[in-house]
């Protein structure tokens, strides 16, 4: 075999390897860019924060209406106006809570069976006008 032929073969192999390497790297990048994250947690958080700051209203975020619990207490979370008075009443307990920011979290005891929990928000300078939300949840120890 001539010297030029051997050189051409090695040069061909060398360049082929370089081209292959570039292709592998490019194809990996493309795959990573195409893959979607398993959760859209970040997007949801942004959306929730935005809507809360825009609407600024009285909302209960947890628990859900008609939800079943097998624990004797429940944590009620939600959003309300800052420095508003929230009156929570249920067959088990009545509570009064003044909010320090836009979110509230209240732990309430539950009675066996149905628990109708009413939350009333009196915002600062509301002059008695209120917003009311009602939850119907169940403490059933058989579940």
Q: Which residues bind other proteins (CB under 8 A)?
A: 2, 4-5, 7-9, 11-13, 15-17, 19-20, 23-24, 27-28, 31, 64, 66-68, 85, 87, 89-91, 94-96, 98, 111-114, 116-118, 120, 122, 126-128, 130, 132, 134, 136, 138, 140, 142-143
Give me the least distance between CB of 81 and other proteins, in Å please: 15
Give me the least distance between CB of 30 and other proteins, in Å please: 8
Give me the least distance between CB of 57 and other proteins, in Å please: 16
Which residue's CB is nearer to other proteins, number 54 or number 64? 64
* Contact (CB, 8 A) for 111 and 91: yes
Residue carrying the six token digits 């209240």: 106
DSSP H or E run through 136: strand 131-139
Residue carrying the six token digits 């009196």: 122
Compute the distance between CA of residue 2 and CA of residue 101 in angstroms, rounded to an integer: 85
Which residue's CB is nearer to other proteins, number 53 or number 70? 70
Which residue's CB is nearer to other proteins, number 24 or number 55? 24
Q: Kindly compute the dihedral angle of the four CA atoms of residues 52, 54, 57, 62, in this order, to the nearest 10 degrees.
A: -10
Which residue's CB is nearer to other proteins, number 50 or number 94? 94
Query: In angstroms, what CA-CA distances link 110 with 27, 89, 113, 132?
Result: 57, 11, 8, 20
């Amino acid at each position: 075999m001539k010297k030029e032929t051997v050189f051409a073969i090695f040069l061909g192999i060398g360049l082929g390897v370089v081209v292959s390497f570039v292709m592998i790297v490019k194809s990996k990048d493309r795959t990573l860019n195409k893959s979607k994250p398993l959760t859209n947690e970040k997007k949801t958080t942004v959306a929730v924060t935005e809507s809360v700051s825009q609407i600024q209203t009285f909302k209960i975020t947890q628990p859900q209406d008609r939800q079943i619990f097998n624990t004797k207490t429940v944590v009620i979370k939600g959003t309300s106006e800052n420095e508003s008075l929230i009156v929570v009443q249920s067959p088990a307990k009545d509570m009064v809570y003044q909010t320090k920011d836009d979110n509230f979290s209240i732990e309430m005891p539950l009675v066996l069976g149905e628990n109708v929990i009413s939350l009333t928000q009196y915002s600062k300078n509301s002059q008695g006008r209120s917003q009311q939300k009602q939850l119907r949840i169940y403490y059933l120890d058989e579940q």
